[in-house]
Structure 1
Amino acid sequence: MNKTASDRPWLAAYGSDISPVLAPSPYASLAELVQDACARFAEKKAFTCVVPNGMSGSHTFAQVGTLSDDFASFLRHDCGLKPGARVALQLPNGLAYPVAAFGAFKAGCVLVNTNPLYTASEMIHQFNDAGVEVLVISDMFADKLAEVVPQTSIRHVVLAGVPEFFPRIPELVIRGVQKYWTRSLPPIPKLAVPVLRIRDALRLGRKQPEVTDWDKLKQNDLAMLQYTGGTTGVPKGAMLSHGNILANLEQVRAMGSHHIAGKDCVLTALPVYHIFAFTANLMTFFAVGARNILVPSPRPVQNIQRALENYPVTCITGVNTLFNGLMNEEWFAAYPPKSLTAAIAGGTALHGAVAERWEKITGTRIAEGYGLTESSPLVTFNPLEQPMRTGSIGVPVPGTDIALVDDNADPVADGQPGELLVRGPQVMLGYWNRPEDTAQTVQNGWLFTGDVATMDEDGYLRIVDRKKDMVLVSGFNVYPNEVEDCLAKLPAVLEAAVVGVPDAKSGEAVRAYVVRNPDQPDELTKQDVIAHCRKYLAAYKVPKSVIIRDELPKSPIGKILRKDLKAEVRDEFAGKV
């Protein structure tokens, strides 16, 4: 599948603003990027963490540089880590995260992002799979350590709190609320390995020689083990090199050069341990000297209110559920942020109804993109200077080739759906210790995404659905995204998810799980849902059954988890069909 210029119709969409040739990164590693940004933007504020009551703390670029130097020294000298050792970060958004992450890069270590909400068994699996030696974890989850640490290779534990590095009085107030009102700070268990607060770890590192050999890192060196979401099986560690992330940063900046600059202020409500926010928010905006407003948790969505009211946010990144949730908040709909210039969606399909309503309320458009963990993550994006195409994930970013193929890996006809394949400098090195999975997923440099897409004559792509989520009704393909997008147009529906269920007559049937919109006066019935779908969908696509729920299962970034609903269906129909 060699590509020629005539095979890349999307190049015309670049216009005069986007170069079709990807500029090489000026850096050899993420450590060098961090060091350079901290020096160039020393006195500017880099990160501000805002909690729901509006209290906050900030770090300048210079402070981030100094503290991450201290943490690198701690890892290398006090923990005895060698370059290539794995360091896990299990932290919500906060000032401790960039200090620890950037310190790990400067120490030549490999960052392992870990969901703070993982159960003990999930932590044990990931830490053992990655061979983690140092764990930096939120003190809110310290009660898991006694079970986890003895069953892993972890040799040092570092604790950090949400108000870490806040001014003293706000820090004490927040810790007091956590400890005495919510009881969310468990006692620290006694462990056979050293356990330190992050400030103590930094003090130790400050006494040690500065780590300077990060300049020996190269772009093909491993930077991160970013574990997949496990939506189709056991989570796997995608090996992302320094070059993978650096190339993707250049691709992000190429597609949004007029909206990503040092004057910007980006709201980071999505967790930075997720690859979307890590690359698009944390690294991209840090590299240009912009300010990041970190929200430890966007749920409930009211947690974002003070951040938007108190800071001149120019850019918001989010998923469909976050944008939808904000617009259902009276304070946001009545007083949308005046400084906002851009909103970027990814992680899951953006519903057309949500995009249209967002533009009416805020006066700005949501630019949708597409990516996945294995591609660092950005693959396609809607050029911000071009007319928006609702429902499209945009065009391939510079330096990226795509192909749409059938089950035999042969190219599909123009306009037909096929599995999306990706080739570019952002594609992972492979899966950690999983050569068979790597060989199946990456073939001849092409990443098989498992997503079904179509491409129009201008090179704009649309995701039809996950290949494994497709429902086969009497031989007809039904893509859940299409049905969910239809359901989103029903005002009484707040959220929806569609899966297939076994059916004796048609093989499979469509089932819709819906959450009622509390702002609508009329009660939602199953008959309402089915009648609405019949107006817009072919009969075989109309849900045969409807389940009304108070909430739907979601990932940490707010992505609705069909896999959990499919697991319920398997249990429900076990032995029946």
Structure 2
Amino acid sequence: MSADTGRAPRDPAADERLESSAAKPWLSSYPPGVPATIDPGAAGTLVDIFDDTAKRYPDRPALESFGRRMTYGELAGHAAAVGSWLAEAGIGRGDRVAIMLPNVMAFPPIMFGVLMAGATVVNVNPLYTPRELSGQLRDSGARTIFVLENFAHTVQAVLGEVTLDRIVIVKPGDLLGFKGGVINLVSRYVKKAVPAYDLPGTISLATVVKAGRAAPRVPVRVTLDDVAFLQYTGGTTGVAKGAMLTHRNVAANVVQCELWLRTGMGDGPHIMVTALPLYHIFALTCCCMVLVRLGGCQLLIANPRDIPGFVKTLQTRPFTCISGVNTLYNALARAPGMKEVDFSKLTLCVAGGMATQSAVAEAWKRLTGKPIVEGYGLSETSPVLSINRLDIEAFTGTIGYPVSSTEVSVRVGDREVPSGEAGELCARGPQIMAGYWNRPDETAKVMTADGYFRTGDVAVFEPDGALRIIDRMKDMILVSGFNVYPNEVEEVVAGCPGIAEVAVIGLPDERSGETVAAYIVRSDPALTEQDVVAWSRERLAPYKVPHRIVFREALPKTNVGKVLRRVLREETAAPQT
């Protein structure tokens, strides 16, 4: 209370929201202190944000991996060395550099080093097959790649199809000191996790850092309009393409998230469990970039699929926040040993990437005492468009409220529909991508005449301005938070000898949200399910491989021959008699 008036002090942010709440009903539901709008360039570039935190908190832990911590000062030194090495190699503004790593200690220093050099990061899923890797490298034009040695054989397999000037080999224990050497030996010789490869002329990350430290650092002028990331996605059309995320896009989203999170998390310092892969836009922004802005520490989980190992890591120290997708929360909530984890410091459990199931949210709250706070976004939106309030008592089932400076419109065609009526969720704001890399035609398909991005998701406004996702407009399948596009899977499966026709849909799955199902008409009666799966595994990442194979005499089609995936879904959902 104000000592001189007896009234609560004015909240300028609340005044601003009140003026706009008629047109934007969600603003009236904002937490105190969150403004209706932001200055998207006020924080500077991602390099500025990183440099500012490193100078303010040089001795704070920034990263933790395999029990070893790295301070912001150390992180800045490693990143600067990578940036200087790239600059000495002639890599700078406009160049694309691929990073093919899981959540190892080396990922953030390499990523910030690329950004410091003024270049563009091309995030690559380490589980990609040669076909998928080749396509992404050729499309992006990246001619330098940092790859974990465990996946170097995949890079070797594409050398005849792409041009790579520099291949930097990263080991899982790099930048971890003496302990890192032990980790590397265990990975290679005990776990035998490094398939043989032959890549003459490669350079080790250790050599890069050493050479970079010896090279003079030439400051590179990075602007807000420079492309920071080419984030590959099928978008809403299923065609693989790189969303161009500028420094302005991602930095604005960092500020939007920071303002929201500070209302319920406090000033920290915070420790974020980063189990989602940093090459995924959710973890990239919401774990890495936001925690850097907050001066927090990321507890990096290199292999979240190893649930027993993951639980042991969580038992080692208290943490303040965790991010995940429905499948991860579900696995942890059921895992032995989780009751021995210390949740006393936990302030935030955020979910995105896929719909969170109520049963999972309830199990998680029973375990931790904290609700799952769900948000929503896409690669094309850097990613956050909306998020629930942090002070909720229980899981809401909505995706929350649009963040500051974000305009949301629910439309049928080009007509905006009233609150309570379903339509396509469209949005515009400073976090919306600059477009698809070299794909103006694809960009035009997802942008409206008045500058809104079409998400492809069907949503409805709740009375208080919260958004609820109803369904997806497209046939995209969501497996553990990763997009799977039926067109791509069908193209690969159709190439298998003995197949006449194939249609792919997603089916509900308790573990992964959805699973890929392939409905096949055989030309060779001897073809087996095992044949199809083996063929697919050689050409698709594991989460894209059909887990259910159904052989049929024919596929349902329209009168012009188009396969009706909808009918297949309806047949599967219909009760059996």
Establish whether TM, by shorter chain, passes 0.5: yes
Answer yes or no: is 1:316 the counterpart of 2:316: no
Quote the residue 1:253 is aligned against.
258
Quote the residue 2:383 is aligned against.
377
Quote the residue 2:244 is aligned against.
239
2 CA distance for matches of 1:350 and 1:300? Answer: 21
Change (3 A) 1:441 1:230: closer
Superposition map of 1:56-455 within 5 A:
56-77=67-88, 79-168=89-178, 170-191=179-200, 194-213=201-220, 216-228=221-233, 233-257=238-262, 258-259=264-265, 261-333=267-339, 335=341, 337-386=343-392, 388=394, 390-406=396-412, 408-443=413-448, 444-455=450-461
1 CA distance for matches of 2:286 and 2:34? Answer: 18
1 CA distance for matches of 2:97 and 2:511? Answer: 42
Structure 1: runs of 5+ lacking an equivalent? 51-55, 471-479, 485-496, 500-507, 518-550, 552-558
Please state whether the residue corresponding to 1:449 is helix, strand or coil.
strand
1:307 deviation in Å?
Answer: 2.2
Change (3 A) 1:287 1:516: closer
Letter in 1 for 2:118: G
Q: Which runs of 4+ in 1 moved over 6 A?
A: none
Letter in 1 for 2:439: R
Please state whether the residue corresponding to 1:151 is helix, strand or coil.
coil
CA contact (8 A) 1:293 1:307 kept: no
2 CA distance for matches of 1:246 and 1:10? Answer: 23
Change (3 A) 1:515 1:23: closer
Deviations 1:346-396 (A, max 9, x none): 000011111122112111111000000000000000011355552111010
2 CA distance for matches of 1:262 and 1:511? Answer: 41
CA contact (8 A) 1:72 1:211 kept: no
Change (3 A) 1:209 1:126: same
1 CA distance for matches of 2:323 and 2:414? Answer: 34
Change (3 A) 1:183 1:28: same
Change (3 A) 1:334 1:289: closer
Please state whether the residue corresponding to 1:225 is helix, strand or coil.
strand
1 CA distance for matches of 2:506 and 2:53? Answer: 50
CA contact (8 A) 1:57 1:163 kept: no
Letter in 1 for 2:182: V
Superposition map of 1:443-482 within 5 A:
443=448, 444-469=450-475
1:414 deviation in Å?
Answer: 2.7
Please state whether the residue corresponding to 2:337 is helix, strand or coil.
helix
CA contact (8 A) 1:261 1:285 kept: no
1 CA distance for matches of 2:321 and 2:65? Answer: 16
CA contact (8 A) 1:136 1:160 kept: yes
1:253 deviation in Å?
Answer: 0.8
2 CA distance for matches of 1:429 and 1:566? Answer: 36
Quote the residue 2:523 is aligned against.
none
1:21 deviation in Å?
Answer: 2.3
CA contact (8 A) 1:222 1:239 kept: yes
Answer yes or no: is 1:41 the counterpart of 2:48: no
2 CA distance for matches of 1:515 and 1:233? Answer: 24
1:180 deviation in Å?
Answer: 2.0
Please state whether the residue corresponding to 1:398 is helix, strand or coil.
coil
Quote the residue 1:528 is aligned against.
none
CA contact (8 A) 1:260 1:288 kept: no
1 CA distance for matches of 2:104 and 2:246? Answer: 24
1:566 deviation in Å?
Answer: 10
Deviations 1:104-154 (A, max 9, x none): 111000010000011111111101100002100001111122222342232
Quote the residue 1:487 is aligned against.
none
Please state whether the residue corresponding to 1:132 is helix, strand or coil.
coil
1 CA distance for matches of 2:374 and 2:96? Answer: 33
Letter in 2 for 1:346: G
Structure 2: runs of 5+ lacking an equivalent? 1-18, 487-502, 513-532, 534-540, 558-577
1:227 deviation in Å?
Answer: 0.5
Quote the residue 1:494 is aligned against.
none
Letter in 2 for 1:189: D
2 CA distance for matches of 1:13 and 1:326? Answer: 32
Letter in 2 for 1:197: S
2 CA distance for matches of 1:511 and 1:138? Answer: 31
Change (3 A) 1:14 1:515: closer
Please state whether the residue corresponding to 1:448 is helix, strand or coil.
strand
Please state whether the residue corresponding to 2:198 is helix, strand or coil.
coil
Change (3 A) 1:14 1:573: farther
Change (3 A) 1:175 1:560: closer
1:84 deviation in Å?
Answer: 1.3
2 CA distance for matches of 1:432 and 1:371? Answer: 19
Mean alpha-carbon deviation: is it higher for 335-344 or for 30-39?
335-344
CA contact (8 A) 1:260 1:285 kept: no
**Aligned-residue CA RMSD (Å):** 3.0
Deviations 1:455-481 (A, max 9, x none): 1111011111211249xxxxxxxxx99
1:57 deviation in Å?
Answer: 2.3
Mean alpha-carbon deviation: is it higher for 331-340 or for 148-157?
331-340
CA contact (8 A) 2:399 2:468 kept: yes
1 CA distance for matches of 2:32 and 2:459? Answer: 27
CA contact (8 A) 1:128 1:152 kept: yes
2 CA distance for matches of 1:379 and 1:516? Answer: 26
Mean alpha-carbon deviation: is it higher for 177-186 or for 249-258?
177-186
Superposition map of 1:477-488 within 5 A:
none
1 CA distance for matches of 2:308 and 2:236? Answer: 28
CA contact (8 A) 2:236 2:455 kept: no
Deviations 1:231-253 (A, max 9, x none): 85232100000000010001101
Deviations 1:460-503 (A, max 9, x none): 11111211249xxxxxxxxx99xx9xxxxxxxxxxxx9x9xxxx
1:575 deviation in Å?
Answer: 4.5
1:155 deviation in Å?
Answer: 0.6
